[in-house]
Amino acid sequence: MKRLSLLGSTGSIGKQTLDVVRQHPDMFSVAALVVNTSIDTLEEQIEEFHPLLAGVVDEKAYRLLKDRYKGQTKLVGGKEALRQAAVLEEADMVVTAIVGAAGIEPTVHAIEAGKTIGLANKETLVAGGPLITRLCEEEHVDLLPIDSEHSAIFQCLEKQERSNVDSLLITASGGPLRTWPSEKIAKATVDDCLNHPTWSMGNKITIDSATLFNKGLEVMEAHWLFGFDYDHIKVVVHPQSIVHSMIQMKDGAVLAQLGMPDMREPIQYALTYPQRVELAMKKLDFLEALQLDFMPPRYDDFPALRLAFEVGRAGGFKPAIFNAANEIAVYAFLDRKIAFGDIYKTVCKVLEQAETEPEFTLDNLLAMDAWARDKARAVLG
Ligand code: NAD
Ligand code: MG
């Protein structure tokens, strides 16, 4: 029985993780659930999965739940909830399904407590790559990818000699604006962007898919997960999202992992790795009409992707700044305070102001993240 601590249980990844757990009651149990504010859904999840601990990060929502909840599960409020769930003795694996750099501290706590990490929260690895990978090595902790592209690459790389692999080919759906004319893109509305053609996901990552910031974050995520330099990571647009990603070998052969665009498949593989078990979902069927297209990204029209390569190559705290500024700009866009084109411009302006590169410690990372958020807010006025 694998006991899970699930950070962000009411989100898109969180709910799909619980669906995988629901399908395999003999394999998994839930030790902890943590959410930000959604206490009604959390209460239903507590009722169904009986965790030892349930956390609500938002203090007001926590007090509301605390006042009405009469069951056995221990309730914890505030950021302390994330820490306690991350280090809980009765948990073997921590699934990081919260959004953004808020995942940095709990992920660090979980690694220091020796927990296997099921990594959905890519922002943490992008911002904290040097620190997170160093800690994982020191603590002999596995980071198992949940992001579909990274799960695909992880599966393709299994049993391959690293020296035989030339490059990683990350596929991208291209997002909802893939075919838009160049001059219209900067004026895309929130509704245009939330209408994703192939994946159903949380709002933040859906906007990131429209700007291609998501693909940029994934390029850096792949760099840290698999240790490939940026000259050997390539992005290929593939609108059907069936080929989840590929690797190209030294001799030119390409290995790919395919499946339906359904996150339960990579989630389950992270949870059962190295085993495979049955999963009830629609499977890919080659006897149905199936068309697979591939094309290069439109770097000039979606400049965030090119910027991500630059930032990744620059290293240090640049990826953390890139990520933090993007988070602020995305939420401003979702609040309809700025235009779509302003997201990229904000991130560029914050990066231009970055000067110091202190030692890569957790404290400096959190300080740099906070600095970039302040600068982004100032840029946005
Ligand atoms: P979501 O917005 O649907 O859900 C986020 C969850 O985290 C919710 O349960 C929310 O209560 C909780 N949360 C948010 N901020 C929090 C905070 N500060 N403290 C504690 N809890 C907090 O997001 P999502 O789409 O499920 O994405 C989660 C992560 O997984 C992101 O990093 C995203 O990039 C990554 N990811 C998502 C998908 C997908 O299909 N949704 C695919 C690949 C990777
Ligand atoms: Mg992805």
Contact call for residues 178 and 107 (beta carbons, < 8 A):
no
- With a 6 Å cutoff on the Cβ, whether 33 touches ligand 1 is no
Residue nearest to atom 23 of ligand 1 (CA): 202
Angle CA(95)–CA(100)–CA(102) in degrees, nearest 5?
80
CB of 281 closer than 8 Å to CB of 262: yes
Which bound ligand lies closest to the C-alpha atom of 121? Answer: 1
Fold matches, 2-145 and 316-381: no
Say whether domain 316-381 belongs to CATH 3.40.640.10: no
How far away, in angstroms, is 148 Cα from ligand 2 center? 5
Q: Is the CB of 16 under 6 A from ligand 1?
A: no
From the CB of 38, is ligand 1 less than 6 Å away? yes
Q: Which residues contact 191 (CB under 8 A, 6 or more apart)?
A: none
Quick one: residue 338, left, alpha or beta (phi over 0 = left, psi -120 to 50 = alpha)? beta
Closest-CA residue to 341 (of 196, 187, 209, 191): 187
The pLDDT profile of the chain, 381 residues, written as one tens digit per residue, is 999 999 999 999 999 999 999 999 999 999 999 999 999 999 999 999 999 999 999 999 999 999 999 999 999 999 999 999 999 999 999 999 999 999 999 999 999 999 999 999 999 999 999 999 999 999 999 999 999 999 999 999 999 999 999 999 999 999 999 999 999 999 999 999 998 888 889 999 999 999 999 999 999 999 999 999 999 999 999 999 999 999 999 999 999 999 999 999 999 999 999 999 999 999 999 999 899 999 999 999 999 999 999 999 999 999 999 999 999 999 999 999 999 999 999 999 999 999 889 999 999 999 999 999 999 999 999
Q: Which residues pair with 28 in a beta bridge?
A: 2
Q: Whose alpha carbon is nearest atom 36 of ligand 1?
A: 120
Q: From the CA of 10, give the closest atom in ligand 1.
A: 9
At 363, phi and psi to the nearest 5?
-60, -45
Sequence ranges of the domains in the chain: 2-145, 150-261+294-312, 316-381
Give the class (CATH, top level) of 2-145.
alpha beta
The structure tokens listed for 317 are 């705290």
Tell whether ligand 1 has an atom less than 6 A from the beta carbon of residue 77.
no
Ligand 1 pocket member 346 (CB < 6 A): no
Q: How far is the CA of 121 from the centre of ligand 1 (A)?
A: 7
20 CA to centre of ligand 2 in angstroms: 18
Cβ of 98 closer than 6 Å to ligand 1, yes or no, is yes
